[in-house]
Amino acid sequence: MLKTWMNSICAGILIAIGGSVFLACDNRYVGAVMFSVALLCICYRGYYLFTGKVGYLSESHTKKDISSLAIGLVGNLATTFLLGLLIRVTMPNLGEVAATLCTKKLEQEFWQTLVRAVFCGFLMYLAVSIFRDKKTPLAILFCVPVFILSGFEHSIADMFYFGASGLTDPKILLFTLAVVLGNSIGGVALPLLQKAGGKDE
């Protein structure tokens, strides 16, 4: 469990870096592509990112698996939020961009946030599973920009943005719940559907 905790912190650091470069880019297309560096490094180094792991509950869902997910989620969220606070203090201009971004996020209804998060979950599962199975980073390089440019919600990245935003609205908790739930649903949906279809004859 200590390994999971430490690796979740490492993943959180990289998501914070990806979030920072996204906030720093005036061109959202460039920012979306540059954010990919976070997931690329996480996958190559084997760090623990909740949104990349939750889909594998369809393969194994022991108590240990669930405990690891919970620990990884807390580690990811805590790290990104704290680093977001740090970025706001050291780079106020990024904090202002994050505040504008997060204010718009909190205007969404719960179900809208949930659906956006489900679609992000689909893409995150595909990015990580294709990287693992096919040994290619191509899915990461496409899936990450697609989820960002589509306006889908990623729970760990969003926590960084909220930390950097300086907002203290209690709606953040409900928003985070919706995104974590949606990412989880999206992450397990594709492998479960494929599994339900059975093996090709």
Mean pLDDT (the chain) is 96
**What is the pLDDT averaged over residues 41-52?**
97
Cα 188 to Cα 186: distance, rounded to the nearest angstrom: 6
DSSP summary character for residue 58:
G
**What is the pLDDT averaged over residues 143-156?**
98
- pLDDT score recorded for residue 200: 57
Instruction: Give 50's Cβ-side CA count (13 Å radius).
Output: 32
Non-local (6+) Cβ contacts of 42 within 8 A are 10, 11, 14, 15, 49, 52
Per-residue pLDDT reduced to its tens digit, 64-109: 999 999 999 999 999 999 999 999 999 999 999 999 999 999 999 9
Q: Which domains does the chain have, with CATH numbers?
A: 2-196 (1.20.1080.10)
**What is the pLDDT averaged over residues 18-31?**
97
Report the range of poorest mean pLDDT among 23-27, 31-35, 61-65, 96-100.
61-65
Contact between 11 and 81 (Cβ < 8 Å) = no
